[in-house]
Amino acid sequence: MHELAKKLIGKRIDILLDEWDFEERKNKHPEECVCYRGKPCHDIKELNCFFCYCPNYDLSVKEERCNINSPKGKYFNAPSGKILDCSDCDFPHKKENAKKILMKQYID
């Protein structure tokens, strides 16, 4: 990636993530998500919705897995095989962690 693009992204990550704060989205864009009109999908303070679906959830293998091995993920049996339930994991939904993921992806 071009160095100028990296600088611009780095300067604007906090602004971008602030726009995806759950309370911010709920107030400004309630039509975008059923959770914005009711209960949030995760019961954590300062929920950030930038990563609505976790970038650490690996579907490339038959039995899904968590690429960061979150201790909060649990497997349960389903007719199609084991499925990973990450509903207790809050890692990608905290602003500081979302920022780390973005910085690693686009800046490093």
Q: How many domains does the chain have?
A: 1
Do the Cβ atoms of 80 and 91 come closer than 8 Å?
A: no
For residue 85, what are the domain limits?
3-107
Asked if the model's pLDDT at residue 106 lies above 80, the reply is no
pLDDT tens digits, residue range 20-64?
Answer: 999 999 999 999 998 898 888 888 889 999 998 888 888 777 667
Give the pLDDT band of residue 68 (cuts 50, 70, 90). Answer: confident
Q: What are the Cα distances from residue 85, in Å, to 46, 65, 89?
A: 21, 10, 9
Structure token pair of residue 51? 């990563």
